[in-house]
Amino acid sequence: MTSYPRKKTRQIMVGSVPVGGDAPISVQSMTTTKTADVEATLAQVYALAAAGADIVRCTCNEREAAEGLARIVPRSPVPIVADIHFHVEMALAAIEAGVDCLRLNPGNLRKPEEIKLVASECKDRGIPVRIGVNAGSLDKRLYEKYGGVTPEALVESAQVELGLFAEVGFDNVKISVKASRVPLMVEAYRQLSQQVDHPLHLGLTEAGPPPAGIIKGTAGIGTLLMEGIGDTIRYSLTTDPVEEAKAGRSLLESLGLRERRNVDLIACPSCGRAEIDVYKVAQEAQAALETREIPLQVAVMGCVVNGPGEARSADLGIAAGKHRGHLFIRGEIVRVVPEDEMVEALVEEAEKLVKEGFDARLAAADKGAAQLAEADRQALLDAKGADANRSEARVELIHRRLADGRAEG
């Protein structure tokens, strides 16, 4: 995996998941169901876990939600975090429900004696707390002190909460300083990372629906991860939370920060040389492969002129030419299949690669496949060659025109 120099943080345990230190960066998401609806919430928790979430947060805003948590936690496949906003009673009830972590919003739960009470209870039970600072709920005093929401205001909010925790000897903490503007969020985390060694939970709050929300979230979270900042992440998207988990897992895999557990499909953007509808084939391949948990990079290329070469680093790929698909493994052609069987052949070969390995599949390559692919490639080059010849003739005309102009001068 890729290794970015990572800021050293202390490690805490959220249930069975280590966060911070040298632990893998974890993915989080949050349920959108009513926590009191135990079966619906558990169904969403399982869906999130299957999509790549290591930790899941649930709202605890009323007695029925706390009762739901007591029934959800023992049946959950991943650690459960209780989200607490305004009511200290809900924090204490969530602790009794057996949750693995609390998230407290300093801008909403403000009474020092209540904050220290929760911290003391968590200390006694060995339950960590996320200090969840949010630009949208910044304490009015800090807003006035800094003249608005600034990185310094967000960081001080976290530091104030840490100070209250310290008074009762509690430091089993991770921290987030979220904002909805990427530059503000990034700078706040940079400053916080310089001041504390607690693990940091990265996120861009209220990012909105995809694709814009994913772009904004990736801009902020990805920037910080590549600077070595961050121990756990969450995309905050206005969509099915399963998409948050998928996005988080995909980002970590793309950066080489988690082992790939599913397909990474790459495809050319298409051009006039494409012999197929690249968009359609890529979508069909993605749909066919994404549920199989095949940890390969797979390429869909529109033509055989440059396809196998450009995608040589891919584990497996297919390129189109003359109504055929040229199947290649790490740049080497192994089979040629009819165009309408391209996706089926790609899936079949991917499964065999995982089962048998690269050497075995390369040894099983069809005899003559490479020669047939090269013939198709040359045919396509020849077909485009006429255009290239005309281009050279036009270049020669330009040379003559310029020479004539100099002669007249």
For 33-73, how does the pLDDT look when each residue is reduced to its tens digit (9 = 90+)?
A: 999 999 999 999 999 999 999 999 999 999 999 999 999 99
For 6-25, how does the pLDDT look when each residue is reduced to its tens digit (9 = 90+)?
A: 999 999 999 999 999 999 99
DSSP string, 296-330: -EEEEES-TTTHHHHTTTSSEEEEEETTEEEEEET
Extract the tokens encoding 380: 């396509």
Cβ pair 180, 131 in contact under 8 A = no
DSSP string, 196-246: --S-BEE--TT-BSTTHHHHHHHHHHHHHHHTT--SEE---BSS-HHHHHH
What is the model's pLDDT at position 390?
Answer: 56
What is the model's pLDDT at position 262?
Answer: 84
Confidence of residue 386 (pLDDT cuts 50, 70, 90): very low
Percent helix, percent strand, percent coil in the chain, to nearest 5: 50, 20, 35
What is the model's pLDDT at position 408?
Answer: 65
Complete domains list, the chain, with CATH? 12-254 (3.20.20.20), 264-372 (3.30.413.10)
Cis geometry, peptide bond prior to residue 5 (ω within 30 degrees of 0): no
What is the model's pLDDT at position 275?
Answer: 64
Q: Amino acid letter at 382?
A: D
Mean pLDDT for 82-109 is 93
